[in-house]
Chain A
Amino acid sequence: MSKLAKTEILSALESAKRYLPKQGGLVGFVHHNTLHDFEEMPFHEAARHVGKVMGSKAYASLEFFKTALSSGRIQKKDMFAASSLELNADITKLAQTYRLQATALLSDLIFLEDRNDNATSVRWKIRNGFLGPDSNEAWTTAKALCLEAKLAGVQVERSEFAFQLTHANDLSYLYFCQLFDLGFSHWSICFDKTILSTFLGGIIKPNAAIPKIIRPMNFDAAFMEQVNEDTQAIEAIMICLDFLEISEDELADFFLWALKDIGGFSGLALAHDLKNNSGKEFLDLVAIRLLILIGCGARAINLGQANRIIDVNHGPCLKTSTVFQAIQVLESSKKLQKVDEAVLIGALTKLESADRFEILQEAYEKKYYRDVCSVLQQKEITNKPAKENNIDTSFYSAIFCIDEREESLRRHLEEVDSTVSTYGYAGFFNIDMLFQAAGSHEQFALCPVSITPNKVIREDYKNNGYFSKTTNIFTQSIRKFIHQKSRTLIFGTLFHIWVAFFTAFADLIRLGSPKIYSKVTRGIWRLLEQSASTGINFDEALDSVSSFSVEDYADRIVTMLKTCGLQKKWTSLIYVVGHGSSSLNNPHAAAYNCGACSGNRGGPNARVFALAANHPLVREKIKEMGVNIPNSAHFVGGYHDTCSDDFIYYDLEQLPSNFRARHNKNAKNIQSACERDAQERSRRFESIPECSPRQAFAKVQYRALKYAQPRPECGHATNALCIVGDRAHSKHIFLDRRAFLCSYDNDSDVAGEYLAKLLSAVLPVCAGINLEYYFSYVDNEKYGSGTKLPHNVTGLAGVMNGSLSDLQTGLPWQMVEIHEPVRLLMMIYAPLDKVLALKKKIPYVFDLIDRGWVNAVFKDPRGGAFVNIKNEPVDMNLASGKSFASSCDVYRGKREHIDAVMLARSFS
């Protein structure tokens, strides 16, 4: 047999790679589209294709949609509108004959139960002329039946094979855990060379020395002669493929089959490769996997191939039971004419090939989109644009992250305090930095993953005193010692005889009553706070080469001010608020943090931004660039904890004394907005009964400290909308924490330059979050990581299920539980032609929209209606004029999703 060419192998690997999840370590968890590599295909096609190959679901279950239909969440007319014209023609024809409503008939046909056919019903179909004997479906079914019979015949061999595969998988997980450990085990395999040579030297070599009968892996002597410690990955792969007699056209399928069960680890290797910009780790992983398969007895993978044929090769085929049920729906099987029969079969075939789920999904989304667009449109009709207020010195602004979890806080703040104007900007506030926290040597990126930061900002203890450093180092090293040594033999024994009493007692209180524990520790911290408070030496940073220069700052700040339209309306105090989330016992904590800060907490960005924007040199530079920040304006950095609803301000001692009183007043209002926000969030937690804002606030604070809490907050769940435009358009509309809100000032951006920047940064990020939630929801076992209760953190990189398994990628069920599987709707408040003019500049964004990964509507902020990208007006329903006095009235007593509604409160 001729050797396979290297390029063929690489290209086959390339195509198999696309099906594997690409999730890096959990520490820097970043949301991304689960099917990112299929974005060149249309959404529905891609989802169905991957679903078929990997055996995962592309849409929510039929049961889910059935419930949605009965609750009115899906409407029959939307289903009719979402299906194709030819199908509708058939349906209408049938409906006329049987005096049924076309929309109702379609919905009945869509919700026919999905039953599998057996051989008898296939034969029945062929005999009764529903299918010709040469039709594609009959052939596939017959083939599948043959294969099944064949497999049943070799039952024992099959189970032997399955056993070998399980053994191979177990060994793979075991070895990959060791090889990809980021430093958790006390004793790790020594790494002086590549992963593959470590594996060959550290595992394959001693393996040969073990008596044959208890050897975990058995290799042929002839095979082993070809492999030694210095074998390159690609050579090893070639040797393995030769041994397994894989032919050229089987390659891609074979790789997919071999890597399917170790998707989590291959994803990790791929993510590492992406970071290091090489393809080494993945190739090593493939070579190791093939070696393990061979070592566990894989000889020729024919049986696996048979499985694959059954899995993949069945196209859309009409089932007998479906036809039966359809005839029952028409309630007159006897009267069914030959003509009708053909129409019915035609309609059903079309329905099947278009995939009824696609129609359901579209209809499901359409209802939500229509409701939201209508409310936003209606607001413009009923509320005349508020006349420009004269800016009072008591007015203030607050810039938040675009995160949809800040939507409720902004809404409540605007309700509580009419003097505030809020803005939304990506939560790293253009400060793309490497941050080094006080007392740490580690630097981490605080910017979106697409940017590689090279500027360093260091934080340090404020009063550089001896006391603070030593106490900190002392407590840290004690905790470190306990943490690491309690699991070893000798220190562990000493620990468990003596020290364990104190730690066990502390843990007992901590687990039994986090409230008391936090009160005590907070008391202690308050004593130490003076010494332990941290700060950034900004002047020193300005001088440093590795940090930002004055020009860098000015450039970044001006971009942000102009995009938001902040420079049009200066206020005396401007709060810049980063966000993050604190929770315990939560390996997925990074997924709750700010996505624009690479899954870290965004506080330092806000802090640095405020420091820079207040700095006289930077302001001067900004003035040169054409933006004049008045001397009476002062920036304050802040941080909002989306889990505990804590709100802290940075560097208040630098606040001029004449701002103090005003700030205190604002802080009070912000606090009460936080409390209301906590109340609104609490309605989603079944374990919190309905209560006042203050009580809810206390409850969510306690929630963030609780080890026993698998749902510290709901994260991005329920996100469905992204509004790009002035806050005035969406102000005082209850959006139920479902909307990413980006401020965009259409007037000051004539050329669309800032819009292009904004869209290219915001749209892929929001779409990534949205689609990750979508896929983790519709198939939580395959795309998500299942329930988090048995999760076991391994190698500081990921979670396994129980004692040994593949790394679980995607989001756990507890995070997506309340999500609605809806694709993101971008609402862009800019004239359509202006947006379309950017098509050449940011093609990626338009591709996402055209291929249906994201839906988009546009509206000229000066007037007019919503249009889609083809300039067709969007379906609206302007009749309902319900409005509520305040947000609290809307959500009181409700735990389910709430449609967008207008709040009557308008001040002008």
Chain B
Amino acid sequence: MTSTSILQISLVMLPVLAMALVLPISYAKHSENLANRACKIVMSGLLLGSSCLLFFSGTTSTASVHMYTLYEFQGHHFDIILQQSRITFLLAFFFVVIISVTALFSANYLHRDDGYWRFQAFMYVYTTAVLVVVYSGNLDTLLIGWEVVGLSSVFLIAYYFKRDRPVQNAFYTLVHYRLGGVFLLAAIFIEVSNIRTDIRENFFVLFLILAAFVKSAQLPFSTWLPRAMEGPTPSSAIFYGGISVHLGPILLLKHQEAMIHAPIAQVILGVGGLLTAFYAAGVGRTKTDIKNQLAYATMGQLGVIYMEIALGFYTLSIIHIILHCSARTFQFLKSPSILHDHHVLKLERSKQYFELLLPKKARNVIYYLSIHEFLLPQVIKILITKPFFKLVSLASSIDRSISKYFKAEDCSDLQTKIQVENSL
């Protein structure tokens, strides 16, 4: 094992270790100071380590380092593989910078809040997960980080679990993330299968694109992103303005070679990005609150980034990712200042907007559609949610009739529960 790999591994492990060792003690003592100090140390460690990797590793070409085999079955391996390349180290460095700014910000911002330690814990888990995704050299490794990022983000959406809406929206997001996980698994299955055709290649990339689209809230999976703005401001910043949504493009950039052999998937990628960019621009322009505006702006920029990837501008897309990610995170962190900014800058609504080019009737229709997110939530409800719950209640009624047949106990309780869920 080279020193580079050791450093990489220790960077990944550092936040989780801090969480496991320091946070319980700090929580038991109810001392925020201890947690703050630990946060500072961990973040400086990460900064130092990732900048060392970036500047002194001396890697020029992409290398994959096999670390460990989790299990082996009939010639199939589940390996932990690290990727070592300039781009990887660069991305990791910038992500660490953004995370550390947000972490220090939240240490102040959440001062005296009930969920202070909860937030810190998820922050560390998230940091590790992001580094796993960025450093991963194969899909198996990436999947671990990918899912943990999703989970920690869901838990932070439901940060105010005593109110209904955050929990509902966290659940909504969780369902989407699970769907993304399924797409990624499908991609892994195709990867390990032995068929080698163009169609396989296309399907493989298509599933990767779908997984990435879920993570980056591209059409048709875009409805979860604005609903995820329920946690404290720093969590919204780092997940939905910042790094989490940018992991989608990074997933695709890690599979550049495969993408070249999948022209159909590439077209889908470009069209998806284009549609999302216009969709997000339309909806975002009508939003009256800062967090939703930022969410849609992020979504739109991600659409542009996907178009860049589809057209093959990989370097440009990396620059775009880094700059957009950092600028947007900071905009989120500053978002409660918007009243102050408007006052200081004496802003007024600009009277010239593109929509004026449209005839009035079309303008009204587009406006109506925009404020209703182009009726996407309703369509999803009709096409997916309702049939799914119908299926569930059908299954349960079949189950009930079978159990009646065997004269087992009545399951009417279950029936009521399902009906209640149906209505949610």
Q: Which residue of A lies closest to B164 (CB)?
A: A166
B100 to chain A, nearest CB (A): 8
**In-complex Cβ contact of B348 among A183, A496, A585, A787 (8 A):** A183
Residues of A within 8 A of B60 (CB): none
Interface string of B321-352 (1 = CB under 8 A from A): 00110110011011111111111011111100
Instruction: Say yes or no: A589-B339 contact (C-beta < 8 A), given A487-B293, A805-B165.
Output: yes
> Which residues 428-463 of A sit at the B interface, judged by CB distance below 8 A?
440-442
**In-complex Cβ contact of A793 among B110, B285, B339 (8 A):** B339
Contact indicator B368/A202 (Cβ below 8 Å): yes
> Which residues 489-519 of A sit at the B interface, judged by CB distance below 8 A?
489, 492-493, 495-497, 500-501, 503-504, 507-508, 510-512
C-alpha gap A589/B344 in the complex (Å): 13
Contact indicator A586/B337 (Cβ below 8 Å): yes
Instruction: Say yes or no: A817-B112 contact (C-beta < 8 A), given A790-B160, A790-B232.
Output: yes
A66 to chain B, nearest CB (A): 20
Residues of A within 8 A of B163 (CB): 801
Cβ of A710 within 8 Å of any chain B Cβ, yes or no, is yes
> Which residues 32-56 of B sit at the A interface, judged by CB distance below 8 A?
none
Residues of A within 8 A of B229 (CB): 792, 802-803
B21 to chain A, nearest CB (A): 24
Interface string of A150-188 (1 = CB under 8 A from B): 000001100110010000000000110110010111111
B363 to chain A, nearest CB (A): 8
> Which residues 328-383 of B sit at the A interface, judged by CB distance below 8 A?
330-331, 333-343, 345-350, 353, 355, 364-365, 367-368, 370-372, 375, 378-379, 382
C-alpha gap A585/B331 in the complex (Å): 11
Residues of A within 8 A of B150 (CB): none
Q: Which residue of A lies closest to B162 (CB)?
A: A781
Contact indicator A789/B341 (Cβ below 8 Å): no
Cβ of A207 within 8 Å of any chain B Cβ, yes or no, is yes
B315 to chain A, nearest CB (A): 11
Cβ of A379 within 8 Å of any chain B Cβ, yes or no, is no
**In-complex Cβ contact of B349 among A159, A186, A709, A803 (8 A):** A186
Contact indicator A487/B294 (Cβ below 8 Å): yes
Residues of B within 8 A of A159 (CB): 419-420, 423
Contact indicator A492/B300 (Cβ below 8 Å): yes
Residues of B within 8 A of A708 (CB): 104-109, 333
Contact indicator B230/A802 (Cβ below 8 Å): yes
> Which residues 92-149 of B sit at the A interface, judged by CB distance below 8 A?
97, 101, 104-113
Instruction: Say yes or no: A686-B112 contact (C-beta < 8 A), given A202-B368, A587-B336, A587-B339.
Output: yes
Q: Which of A209-217, A625-633, A717-725 forms contacts with chain B?
A: A209-217
**In-complex Cβ contact of B337 among A178, A184, A585 (8 A):** A585
Interface string of A583-614 (1 = CB under 8 A from B): 01111010000000000000000000000000
**In-complex Cβ contact of B340 among A155, A586, A709, A711 (8 A):** A586
Q: Which of A50-58, A303-311, A475-483, A654-662 forms contacts with chain B?
A: A475-483
Residues of A within 8 A of B108 (CB): 687, 706, 708-709
Residues of A within 8 A of B343 (CB): 27
Contact indicator A793/B335 (Cβ below 8 Å): yes
> Which residues 349-392 of A sit at the B interface, judged by CB distance below 8 A?
none
Cβ of A130 within 8 Å of any chain B Cβ, yes or no, is no
Instruction: Say yes or no: A511-B339 contact (C-beta < 8 A), given A479-B345, A708-B104, A803-B292.
Output: no
**In-complex Cβ contact of A189 among B169, B333, B349, B367 (8 A):** B367
Cβ of A534 within 8 Å of any chain B Cβ, yes or no, is no
Contact indicator A800/B289 (Cβ below 8 Å): yes
Residues of A within 8 A of B254 (CB): none
B34 to chain A, nearest CB (A): 14
Cβ of A486 within 8 Å of any chain B Cβ, yes or no, is yes
C-alpha gap A480/B348 in the complex (Å): 10
Contact indicator A496/B416 (Cβ below 8 Å): no
C-alpha gap A202/B369 in the complex (Å): 11
Instruction: Say yes or no: A181-B101 contact (C-beta < 8 A), given A188-B349, A585-B334.
Output: no
Contact indicator A185/B288 (Cβ below 8 Å): yes
Q: Which residue of A lies closest to B277 (CB)?
A: A489
Cβ of A26 within 8 Å of any chain B Cβ, yes or no, is yes
Instruction: Say yes or no: A487-B330 contact (C-beta < 8 A), given A27-B343, A790-B231.
Output: no
Cβ of A748 within 8 Å of any chain B Cβ, yes or no, is no
Cβ of B301 within 8 Å of any chain A Cβ, yes or no, is yes
Instruction: Say yes or no: A796-B339 contact (C-beta < 8 A), given A497-B319, A500-B323, A708-B109.
Output: yes
Contact indicator B304/A493 (Cβ below 8 Å): yes
Contact indicator B378/A795 (Cβ below 8 Å): no
Contact indicator B327/A793 (Cβ below 8 Å): no
> Which residues 404-424 of B sit at the A interface, judged by CB distance below 8 A?
416, 419-420, 423-424
Cβ of B180 within 8 Å of any chain A Cβ, yes or no, is no
**In-complex Cβ contact of A187 among B169, B336, B355 (8 A):** B355
Residues of B within 8 A of A184 (CB): 288-290, 293, 338, 342, 349
Contact indicator B339/A803 (Cβ below 8 Å): no
Contact indicator B337/A216 (Cβ below 8 Å): no
> Which residues 553-594 of A sit at the B interface, judged by CB distance below 8 A?
584-587, 589
Cβ of A488 within 8 Å of any chain B Cβ, yes or no, is yes
Contact indicator A793/B338 (Cβ below 8 Å): yes
Residues of B within 8 A of A479 (CB): 345
Q: Which residue of A lies closest to B98 (CB)?
A: A508
Cβ of A219 within 8 Å of any chain B Cβ, yes or no, is no
Contact indicator B105/A206 (Cβ below 8 Å): no
Contact indicator B375/A216 (Cβ below 8 Å): yes
Instruction: Say yes or no: A507-B288 contact (C-beta < 8 A), given A202-B367, A787-B113, A802-B166.
Output: no
**In-complex Cβ contact of B101 among A155, A186, A512, A793 (8 A):** A512
14 intermolecular pairs with C-beta atoms under 8 Å apart: A181-B288, A184-B293, A186-B353, A187-B370, A210-B375, A215-B378, A441-B346, A487-B297, A496-B324, A508-B326, A589-B339, A790-B233, A802-B291, A805-B165
Instruction: Give chain A's interface residues, CB within 8 Å of chain B.
Output: 26-27, 155-156, 159-160, 163, 174-175, 177-178, 181, 183-189, 201-203, 206-207, 209-210, 213-216, 440-442, 476, 479-480, 483-484, 486-489, 492-493, 495-497, 500-501, 503-504, 507-508, 510-512, 584-587, 589, 686-687, 706-711, 787-796, 800-805, 817
Contacts A511-B333, A802-B229 aside, 17 further interface pairs with beta carbons under 8 A come to A156-B416, A163-B423, A177-B289, A184-B290, A186-B350, A489-B277, A489-B278, A706-B108, A707-B334, A708-B109, A711-B111, A790-B159, A792-B229, A792-B291, A793-B336, A803-B228, A803-B230
Instruction: Give chain B's interface residues, CB within 8 Å of chain A.
Output: 97, 101, 104-113, 159-160, 163, 165-166, 169, 226-233, 277-278, 280-281, 284-294, 296-297, 300-301, 304, 316, 319-320, 323-324, 326-327, 330-331, 333-343, 345-350, 353, 355, 364-365, 367-368, 370-372, 375, 378-379, 382, 416, 419-420, 423-424
Closest 3 CB pairs of A and B: A794-B289, A507-B330, A802-B230
